[in-house]
Structure 1
């Protein structure tokens, strides 16, 4: 009698490729369409209208022009540079020739996705190289051993601290892609502290996700959305702070009970059967019984590495850094670490290359995830979905309007994963609808934030599959963990949104 081979859940690559095919299928079903787009030319002081047929019209940059176009925004928003991206012009949606994406387009999309995300890939590869060198000299082993002694009996403080810091980053400046750098450092610490990989992922990923979902002053979501809706982002700020605090507390309690269950019974972990593979990846050179000396050299190397993170956060939050600047920072960090590592030049280079090679699977996942959005963009179906959504919520009761808006933005968030892109595209269309049902426009801003943020917990086109690939965890394990919390947060968000509409 032969033993049946146990079926395993598909890898991130397979999941993304299946979604890529489904997205291409939608381009045959959903009609292609476009809104006219308005852009402000500051040099000529003119508005440029790009129509669905790609013809261009130039108009005077005046408040009267905006009023005629039914764009309920102040001219100052454009002149002062507050709104820089093209915005959709209300009531201009037009069906265009269908652009179905066939087999050739499906095969080309991952290649284009790699080209589009090469900046993120370089960042991840440099990070992998640094991790390789730090592991080679035993600095992580010594640091983990020292930290585990200090946190003994207070391990959940580590989870709380990581969660609150990433939440703070998410709500203030949209900390998201930058968290990729945290997993190789924090995962070993969490594992040695008795937590499983899921808890580490939750502390980092859900911290940034809850923060960005319940954004307070995030310039890439709530600020740009408020500007595009024609209101000040401080409208409803105190309410958003209250909702963020409650949402964070709910998430922390959920994480605590799961972590407690796993610490009492390791077999209760959703990734128990993958424990050996996870430990092999993150603790392959770590021996909990060994006494690795935390030497001055190892302390200096870890300090150099650690200092890069506050510098990175400062650069992103205050100086508009993106992956080019972050990669430059970590390359300089890598060079300094090589100098202080005590390794020979040959060992440094070979170890760096080997460490980068360990994350090749992760960087390819990033490119494949981007390919899904490329297929949908090339099929011109996003504007059609936005037009359908606007028709659905028109003339609804205030409370129902708010809830349906959140559902709509959850769906749109899958097709338009960029928070700023979705804001400038949708707000000129959606925000004025709030006036027709007698609710404040800040309700639409919150529906946009909370709807898109809720979907980000599981959206394969976002960061989650990249994160899971880095953490040696499959999507089905994450879904088992996150879906109950997602349901809780959905109910919580709906309640708070209805209260917001009624206040």
Structure 2
């Protein structure tokens, strides 16, 4: 008895010692790691020239050269973080506007009325909603390259998931991972596959059959994974990885026989939302809209929705501020993560990392080189999170290397698109991921715990397809 009373008080302290740090702490630690790299990795850069075929500024192969070192000092780190916030201001303010807009729409009761009916219609087959959402958003991913923009749909996915007895993690996953699956497969995606193929000088969107197989594999594995998790949460809410978040949500037992009736204000608000999202799809696909235009669109949607619900200007403003305030924590994460890239760029080490890794791939044994290219692109996505940016940086280097070691250019494009897509859903520097988590309120640590097993499955699928592609001279 005496020994037990001596040991028990130490257990809580032990758990606290290993407690995962705050997300901001993790990001600032990574900024310090990036700063340390500027002292260890030699500074260098490639020459760049405009490509007549694509109109993009590409890296000139074999042009790497060292430059004067410019290590980032300790006192410069706070400024680099602020610089990151400024650089990502468009995404940060976009997220704040999304939070305000959806708070206005949510306060009208429209989402509750609609999702209540979805729950009634799918009460006994709610899991089918998950693969439907995944397939729907995968189409947006492999056609118009939807990635960061998917965050605007996350609140809808969460509302539907909760109405069906699932949690916010399920709702976020079935939207964001659906888009990620499509973006990675990139069947007709002009922003990653299209550009990479243009640089590699292979026919635009050729080799689609293997990318379709990739998409089907990703949709199947992702659907089964999320359905399994959602089923456990529905059977036992204590199994939810975001149980604390769900407890914060004011929810009532949904009586399917006493659903809120759709009123005129709900129909008008729904019409505004539908028109708004239709305009979003048109603007992104036809007019090359990005954050500034999308933010303006959502700000308009929020104000008009409020007026349709009979709100006065002050009520609209009050609801907007309430929503923006609730999402500030997540929005600022984008800027902190951007600080990592700012430090690496100021230290002139990104090109050095690209050069070092590409050289290493060239020295690998023959049969392993294709997997080395695949690994190279995955690692480079840590440092260059933009698909377009990574294409114009890595493809001009990897294409000549592929010709030299006997790997087809189409396979080289496949390595690029897999590396550009898979890790976007786990990297804290990914605006697509961090934006979705900011909107949903899910802590980054909880997402990693949920997603890493699926991430491993994705990587294995990619490795198998890379070997097959190399064997058949894809």
Q: TM-score, normalised by structure 2?
A: 0.91
What displacement does 1:288 show?
A: 3.0
For 1:362 and 1:475, locate their aligned partners in 2 and report how far apart those are by CA, in whole Å: 9
2:442 counterpart of 1:476: no
What displacement does 1:287 show?
A: 6.2
What displacement does 1:386 show?
A: 1.2
Size of the alignment, in residue pairs?
458
2:469 counterpart of 1:500: yes
The 8 Å contact of residues 12 and 465 in structure 1, kept in 2 or not, is answered as no
For 2:352 and 2:444, locate their aligned partners in 1 and report how far apart those are by CA, in whole Å: 30
The 8 Å contact of residues 9 and 474 in structure 1, kept in 2 or not, is answered as no
The 8 Å contact of residues 87 and 424 in structure 1, kept in 2 or not, is answered as yes
What displacement does 1:10 show?
A: 2.7
2:421 counterpart of 1:421: no
Q: Which 10-residue stretch deviates more, 343-352 or 463-472?
A: 463-472
For 2:446 and 2:92, locate their aligned partners in 1 and report how far apart those are by CA, in whole Å: 25
- Corresponding residue for residue 149 of structure 2: 178
- Corresponding residue for residue 212 of structure 1: 183
2:283 counterpart of 1:272: no
State the Cα deviation string for residues 300-335 of structure 1 (Å, max 9, x = none): 112212331232122112221111111222222223
Query: Aligned match of 1:411 in 358, 370, 379?
Result: 379
Q: Which 10-residue stretch deviates more, 268-277 or 121-130?
A: 268-277
State the Cα deviation string for residues 416-457 of structure 1 (Å, max 9, x = none): 111111101111111111111222101111111112322223
SS at match of 1:456: helix
- Corresponding residue for residue 161 of structure 1: 132
What displacement does 1:35 show?
A: 0.5
- Corresponding residue for residue 317 of structure 2: 349
What displacement does 1:396 show?
A: 5.0
- Corresponding residue for residue 84 of structure 1: 55
- 5+ residue gaps, structure 2, are none
For 2:387 and 2:149, locate their aligned partners in 1 and report how far apart those are by CA, in whole Å: 15
SS at match of 2:378: helix
Change in Cα spacing, 1:201 to 1:345, as seen in structure 2 (3 Å) is closer
The 8 Å contact of residues 377 and 420 in structure 2, kept in 1 or not, is answered as yes
Q: Which 10-residue stretch deviates more, 259-268 or 315-324?
A: 259-268
- 5+ residue gaps, structure 1, are 41-77
The 8 Å contact of residues 398 and 439 in structure 1, kept in 2 or not, is answered as no
The 8 Å contact of residues 395 and 437 in structure 1, kept in 2 or not, is answered as no
What displacement does 1:126 show?
A: 2.1
The 8 Å contact of residues 395 and 436 in structure 1, kept in 2 or not, is answered as no
Within-5 A mapping of 1:1-150: 4=12, 7=16, 8-39=19-50, 78=52, 82-150=53-121
For 2:107 and 2:304, locate their aligned partners in 1 and report how far apart those are by CA, in whole Å: 15
Q: TM-score, normalised by structure 1?
A: 0.86
What displacement does 1:267 show?
A: 2.4
State the Cα deviation string for residues 215-262 of structure 1 (Å, max 9, x = none): 112111111111112222333121111221122212212222222222
Q: CA RMSD in A?
A: 2.1
The 8 Å contact of residues 43 and 69 in structure 2, kept in 1 or not, is answered as yes
For 1:114 and 1:287, locate their aligned partners in 2 and report how far apart those are by CA, in whole Å: 41
